[in-house]
Structure 1
Amino acid sequence: MFIALVILTVLLVLLAVNSAVAKLRKNEQVLTSIVGTARFPEKFVPVLATLEIAGALGIVAGLWVEPLGIAAAAGLVIYFIGAVIAHLRVGDVKGSAMPLIPLALSVAVLVLRFLTV
């Protein structure tokens, strides 16, 4: 089970860091989705990127420090639930599908982290 946790952690880290980098580089498509469609204030977009990076670092460190991994995975679950809700709140069903894959990975990492303690 630990091998599955490592694989899913790596996948989630890649997704979270890629998403954070797109936000920090002010990728037009990402900003249009977050700021234009979901109506999230642009000045707080770097905070979203920081949360994703912190979550990614936390789940990696959590491979050795179980409580940190659990906390970081739980934080990512909450983060991506928030992303889904932000899109659904404005009726953007299509945009709400984008965070579903990292949300599913976050839930899987959280469950596996609990099971491998």
Structure 2
Amino acid sequence: MSTVHLVVVLLTSALNGSAAVANLTGHDLPRRQADKLRVPRSWIRPLGAVLATGSLGLLTGLFVLPAVGMLAAGGLVLYFLGALVAHLRVGDHRLGPWAVFFCLPVTALALNLAHHSPW
């Protein structure tokens, strides 16, 4: 495992883990985002659970089972593609934070595939 791979996966896990905590604890930021994107507030905790699962899956893939890490990174990519749709649906084109949250799991997935690929 390369240092870059380790840093990207740990950073991705930490960032998504902190977002999961914010969602699961009822922090004001996820509520404001949900209102802005016209997402029901009842979805905040389940979405936080998805982020937490992705975060823990990345760590599991790093230290235990690489396939779990690949699936977790892929799941986070899909999650943030859905977030992009939500942003664009309401005409929100301020996508800087979204881009960070999206590019990190894309990079983690690419590095995971490169590192564990049988080819």
2:6 corresponds in structure 1 to 6
Are positions 1:23 and 2:28 aligned together? Answer: no
- How many residue pairs get matched? 115
Runs of 4+ in 1 over 6 A off after TM superposition: none
Which residue matches 1:32? 32
1:49-105 residue CA offsets vs partner (Å, 9 max, x unmatched)? 0000100111111113121111110001111111121111110112x3322102100
Quote the sequence identity (%).
31
| 1:12-44 alpha-carbon deviations (Å, 9 max, x no partner) | 11110111111122222321112x111111111
Q: CA deviation at 1:3?
A: 1.9
**Aligned-residue RMSD, C-alpha:** 1.2
Q: Which residue of 1 aligns with 2:70?
A: 70
How far apart are the structure 2 equivalents of 1:23 and 1:60?
A: 20
**Cα distance in structure 2, aligned partners of 1:24 and 1:90:** 24
Q: Is the 8 A contact 1:84 1:97 kept in 2?
A: no
Q: Report 1:1-117 matches (<5 A).
A: 2-34=2-34, 36-63=35-62, 64-94=64-94, 96-117=95-116
What secondary structure sits across from 1:98 in the alignment? helix
Give the gaps of 5 or more residues in structure 1.
Answer: none
SS of the residue corresponding to residue 92 of structure 1 reads coil
Q: What residue ranges of structure 2 are gaps of 5+ in the alignment?
A: none
One-letter amino acid matched to 1:99: W
